[in-house]
Structures are given as structure tokens and as C-alpha cells.
């Protein structure tokens, strides 16, 4: 069936808590006017704090009736400005949409699931699963359950992680948020409420139908596009015969407001091996990554990279702060680091993993001694602190430079290429950046062909040069069938890059999908589309 059939909400006598008055909002609620992107927002006249889907519906109807726009705001941890109000009168914050997490076994599939409301933070879901502190129905889970999607920022709201299809280091093995969403409740721009269960509504070829609550029906035509063959959060997810739920996941709040979610959970893997391998060159790492990805026994959950320039910054920080910097004392020979995480359940499995790693490392002329490894949660935490030290160091350097030249900021790229082009793109990035004599580091999800470049401009001129190069990179990535935005999304700040990814016609066709759901353009105006 390809019919989307939202239902009218029960809204009689329901009012959505709201704060109004620009001055009051500017003074007391200023935090809602910005997010992690540091994009500066403009003030809003109304700030809504719904506590449930019905209140979201009431708020959105009120706003539509006034023919105004609204920005939807979650944990404000995004870095492309999606939650920042710009020239819009209303803001709906979902931070009070917090109900106790419910864990249950789905009878049809036998899967364990968690039902959450949009305002619950990822950190709260993780800790409630760890401490088994949640509501249960009938049956209690026999073992510790696990939600494996691990966006770095655990203060993100779960609603936001679905709206942006968030991913993290473990996406290599477990896939992005999309793969774990089984059901959502979405409030549409007219206030109607749509419930979508995976598998129930799928496109017939490239066509979906929307039956509105007023009885009118609209055909939604999906454009004919080829999505990148990599992790991707650029524009809508579109595929022939696709599940309608996937259209909403990653749509950055432009099609509807996701208010409730059912996630699939799995049993916690019994044990983990965590390791940082200290390589002597970038080439060695690229070669090793190709080998480990094609190996049938080694199935890493995560492969994270630090390039030689990253190590220059980390060594410097270590020199300044000593062992309290959480950075190990690296030998002079270490030129690049690869972080590897592998799950296992028996000692035999571990034995195979160990000999597999040994063999592959030997093939790139590396031994088992040039590494740091552990099996305990404590080891994971230590390595996390080390991994996070790099972006922190970059941010510190930039904030120092900002004191002299306020308009400076780092340029962070978020592009992925198919595995076979990893070696090429790294060389391409490096030659252009060296040629432009920019300061930069390359790090991140190398197992997904998804490396972040952080350019650290020292002057306004370098900032401009950095952006030029970024666009060149994007064109090359698209040529290689990669994505200009693998995980950060488009938001307000990367729309130029969406235009590199897709032709104007395709972006228009995507906008037409939005118009079917939101003809007046109420939801998140300025996000994804101009």
C-alpha cells in the first residue's frame, strides 16, 4: 500500500505551553536562538514548549492559521544550523517532550524495542538501558539491551537524531539511525498526525499518495535520482519502492515534526576489543583499512583515523599539558593512528580476531606491539578521551585566533566517498590543501570513506581560500559518487553543497515533495531549500 493517511488529533481543550514576547525570549531564552553551529539566529515572537504530540499539533495549527513559519528545535547539538531561527516568528522546542522510556518485545518480529518521545536525550536512553531503568510491558529483557547508534554528541535529542538520520563511529557496522527506526509518529504542517510503521507504506515505483484529513488526496512523485553510494544525509532519502518512513527520517524537520519513535534494540555484545594502532604512514593505514574491510572474520564496529597533521597538534598539546591531556606519549615513529573496535562473545572468537589482526598488520609491515589495546569499559573511556582531544584542540586554536580576527572559524567538511576511492581522495585532499598552504587536519570515519577535514584558517583570506577548496572537494566527491554531507546534514549552512550534489531540477522535485506535506512552507523555512 502506498497511501499515507494521517488522522486528525484530539485537540479539544488542548493548549500548548508557550512563551511570547521577543524581549522576554531574548533575555531569558536566548539559548534557543543558537545551536552548536554557532550560526547567529534572529529573535522569535513565540516559543512553544509542547509536552506531547497533541500539543505539537495545537501549536502548529495555531502557527499555520497565522500563516507564519516555525523552526523545530531539539537538543541544538547540530552543526549546520538546522535549529537556529532565522527570520522566522515561531520556534517549537521539543525539550519538554520527555516521557519515561518503555521497553517491550515486539510480538510479530520477536525484536526488543524502545518507545521514546522526541525530547529524550541519547545519553538518557543509553544510561537507562545500562541500568535497566525503564518501563517494561509483560516481559523483562533477559540481558542488557543495546542501542548501537553512537553519534558523538550524546546530549542530542532522539527526535533530532531521527530527523537528521544521525550516525557515529559504529555506523560502520551498525548503520545510521535510519536502520534502527521501526515506527514514528509525525505531526504534519496542518496539525494532522501520521503514524508510520516500517513495512506498512511503500511507494509504488516512484509514487506515494497522501490522503489529508479534509478528504483531499495528493500524489507525491519521487524524483528519479541516484543517491550516493555512501553514508549520506544530503537531501531526502529517495528510492524506487521505498518505505515512506524513510522519507521522514533525515528530512531535517521539513516534512513534519517527529514526536515519538520506536527503536529496534539488540542484546549487548558480550565483550569488546578496543585498540589504537600506531602506524608509520598514512599509506599503511589506507592499505590496512582495505584489507580489514574485505576480511571475513574481522568485522570492526568502528575504524577511526588520525592523520599526520592531527598528531602534530596532539603532540603539541601533550607537550604543553603532560599526561593530564589524555594524550598518550607517542613514539617519534608514529605518523598516523587507527582506532579499531571489534565485538566478540567467546575466547575462540577473540583468538581468531587476534590472529587475523596480526596477519593483516604483518602484511603492511606492522607488529602487534605498536598499539594500545584493552577490553574494559574503562579502556574505551580512556580512548574516547584521547579521540575527542583532537576536535577540542582544533576548537581551542580557533577560539584563540578568533580573538584577533573575530570572523574566523574552522571549516569542517563532512564528505564520504565509496571505499575504492579512499586512497585517491586522501591524496587529492592533501595535495590541494598543501598547495594552498592551509593549516588542516584529517580525521574520522575512515572505514566509511568518510573523513572530516578541519581547516584552521589564520586569516580572512585563508578562510575564503578554504571555502574555495571545500567546493572543489565537493565536486570531486560527487564525481566519485560520494556524498557532500555524510552525517551532519544540510541545515541552513550547507545548501550550496546540496546544489553541488544534485541538479536544480532534482532539488526542485524534492521541494515539490515538501509542498505536498507543507504547501504553505510553515516547517523549517530556510532549511534544505532556499
Partner 1 sequence: MKRLIVCIKQVPDTSDVRIDPETNTLVREGVESILNPLDPFAIEEAVRVKERMGGVVTAITMGPPQAKKVLQHAIALGADEGYLICGPEFAGADTLATSYTLAQAIRRLGNAVLIFCGKQAIDGDTAQVGPGIAAHLDLPQLIYVRKIRKINKRYIVVESMTDTGYEIIRSTLPAVLTVVKEINEPRLPSLKSAMKGRRYEPNVLGGEEIKADFNRLGLKGSPTRVVRIFVPEQARKTKILTGNPEEIAVNLFSSLQKEGVLRCQ
Burial annotation 402-416 (CB, 10 A radius, 16+ → b, else e): eeeeeebbbbbbbbb
CA-closest candidate to residue 414, choices 389, 442, 456: 442
Nearer to partner 1, 276 or 416 (CB): 276
d(CA 496, CA 449): 22
Rank residues 107 and 348 by Cβ distance to partner 1 and give the closer one: 348
Cβ pair 222, 203 in contact under 8 A: yes
- Alpha helix segments (H runs only) across 258-346: 282-294, 308-321
Distance CA 189, CA 33 (A): 22
Taken as a whole, the chain contains a residue count of: 530
Cell numbers found for residue 332: 617519534
- Tell me if 360 sits within 8 A of 295, measured CB to CB: yes
Single out the residue of 134, 101, 146, 137 nearest to residue 119, CA to CA: 101
54 conformational bin, left if phi > 0, alpha if psi -120 to 50, beta if neither: alpha
Q: Which is nearer to partner 1, 56 or 302 (CB)?
A: 302
Distance separating alpha carbons of residues 171 and 176, to the nearest angstrom: 5
Q: Give whichever of 129 and 478 is closer to partner 1, judged by the CB atom.
A: 129
Measured from the CB atom, is 378 or 400 closer to partner 1? 378
Min separation Cβ 440 and partner 1, Å: 28
State which residue, 217 or 381, has the beta carbon closest to partner 1. 381
Handedness of CA 279, 480, 489, 183 (dihedral sign): negative
What are the φ and ψ backbone dihedral angles of 252, each rounded to 5 degrees?
50, 40
DSSP letter at 338? Answer: E
Residue closer to partner 1 (CB basis): 389 or 397: 389
Gap between the Cα atoms of 222 and 236, Å rounded: 10
Nearest distance in Å: CB 370, partner 1: 7
Minimum distance from residue 354 beta carbon to partner 1 (Å): 6
Residue number with CB closer to partner 1 (123 or 368): 368
Nearer to partner 1, 266 or 368 (CB): 368
Give the three cell numbers for residue 433: 590543501
> C-beta of 268: minimal distance to partner 1 in Å?
13
Question: Cβ of residue 377: shortest distance to partner 1, in angstroms?
Answer: 6
Q: How far apart are CB 371 and partner 1 at their closest, in Å?
A: 4
- Cα 366 to Cα 512: distance, rounded to the nearest angstrom: 54
Smallest separation, CB 373 to partner 1 (Å): 4
- What's the closest the beta carbon of residue 114 comes to partner 1, in angstroms? 19
**CA–CA dist 61, 55 (Å, integer):** 10
Q: Residues in the site for partner 1, rule: CB under 8 A?
A: 130-131, 275, 277, 323, 328-329, 350, 354, 357-358, 367-378
Question: Residue 274 CB, nearest distance to partner 1 (Å)?
Answer: 9
Amino acid at each position: 500500500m502506498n497511501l499515507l493517511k494521517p488522522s486528525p488529533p484530539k485537540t479539544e481543550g488542548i493548549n500548548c505551553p508557550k512563551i511570547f514576547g521577543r524581549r522576554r525570549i531574548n533575555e531569558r531564552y536566548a539559548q534557543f536562538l543558537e545551536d552548536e553551529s554557532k550560526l547567529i539566529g534572529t529573535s522569535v515572537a513565540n516559543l512553544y514548549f509542547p509536552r506531547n504530540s497533541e500539543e505539537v499539533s495545537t501549536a502548529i495549527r495555531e502557527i499555520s492559521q497565522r500563516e507564519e513559519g516555525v523552526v523545530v528545535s531539539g537538543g541544538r547539538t547540530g552543526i549546520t544550523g538546522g535549529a537556529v531561527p532565522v527570520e522566522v516568528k515561531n520556534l517549537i522546542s521539543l525539550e519538554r517532550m520527555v516521557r519515561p522510556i518503555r521497553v517491550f518485545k515486539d510480538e510479530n518480529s520477536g525484536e526488543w524495542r524502545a518507545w521514546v518521545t522526541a525530547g529524550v536525550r541519547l545519553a538518557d536512553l543509553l544510561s537507562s538501558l545500562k541500568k535497566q531503568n525503564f518501563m517494561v510491558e509483560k516481559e523483562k529483557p533477559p540481558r542488557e539491551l543495546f542501542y548501537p547508534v553512537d553519534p558523538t554528541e550524546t546530549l542530542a535529542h532522539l527526535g533530532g537524531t531521527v530527523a537528521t538520520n544521525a550516525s557515529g563511529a559504529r555506523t560502520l557496522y551498525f548503520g545510521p539511525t535510519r536502520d534502527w527506526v521501526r515506527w514514528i509518529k509525525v505531526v504534519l504542517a496542518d496539525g494532522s498526525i501520521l503514524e508510520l510503521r516500517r513495512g506498512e507504506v511503500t511507494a509504488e515505483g516512484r509514487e506515494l499518495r497522501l490522503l489529508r484529513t479534509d478528504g483531499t488526496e495528493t500524489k507525491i512523485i519521487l524524483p528519479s535520482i541516484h543517491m550516493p553510494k555512501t553514508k549520506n544525509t544530503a537531501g531526502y532519502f529517495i528510492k524506487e519502492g521505498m518505505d515512506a518512513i524513510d522519507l521522514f527520517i533525515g528530512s531535517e524537520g521539513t516534512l513534519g515534526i517527529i514526536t515519538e519513535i520506536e527503536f529496534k534494540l539488540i542484546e549487548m555484545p558480550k565483550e569488546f576489543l578496543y585498540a589504537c594502532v600506531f602506524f608509520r604512514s598514512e599509506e599503511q593505514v589506507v592499505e590496512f583499512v582495505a584489507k580489514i574491510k574485505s576480511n571475513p572474520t574481522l568485522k570492526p564496529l568502528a575504524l577511526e583515523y588520525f592523520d599526520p597533521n592531527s598528531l602534530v597538534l596532539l603532540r603539541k598539546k601533550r607537550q604543553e599539558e603532560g599526561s593530564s591531556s589524555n594524550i598518550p606519549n607517542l613514539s617519534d615513529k608514529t605518523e598516523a593512528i587507527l582506532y579499531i573496535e571489534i565485538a566478540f562473545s567467546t575466547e575462540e572468537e577473540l583468538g581468531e580476531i587476534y590472529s587475523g589482526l596480526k596477519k593483516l598488520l604483518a602484511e603492511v609491515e606492522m607488529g602487534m606491539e605498536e598499539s594500545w589495546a584493552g577490553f574494559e569499559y574503562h579502556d574505551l573511556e580512556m580512548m574516547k578521551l584521547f579521540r575527542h582531544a583532537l576536535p577540542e584542540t582544533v576548537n581551542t586554536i580557533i577560539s584563540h585566533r578568533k580573538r584577533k580576527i573575530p570572523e574566523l572559524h574552522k571549516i569542517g567538511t563532512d564528505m564520504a566517498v565509496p571505499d575504492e576511492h579512499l586512497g585517491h581522495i586522501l591524496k587529492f585532499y592533501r595535495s590541494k590543501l598543501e598547495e594552498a598552504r592551509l593549516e588542516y587536519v584529517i580525521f574520522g570515519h575512515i572505514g566509511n570513506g568518510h573523513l572530516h577535514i578541519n581547516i584552521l584558517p589564520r586569516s580572512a583570506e585563508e578562510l575564503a581560500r578554504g571555502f574555495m577548496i571545500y567546493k572543489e572537494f565537493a565536486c570531486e566527491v560527487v564525481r566519485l559518487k560520494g556524498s557532500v554531507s555524510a552525517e551532519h546534514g544540510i541545515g541552513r549552512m550547507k545548501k550550496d553543497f546540496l546544489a553541488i550534489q544534485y541538479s536544480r531540477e532534482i532539488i526542485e522535485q524534492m521541494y515539490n515533495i515538501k509542498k505536498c506535506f507543507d504547501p504553505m512552507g510553515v516547517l523549517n523555512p530556510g532549511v534544505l531549500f532556499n
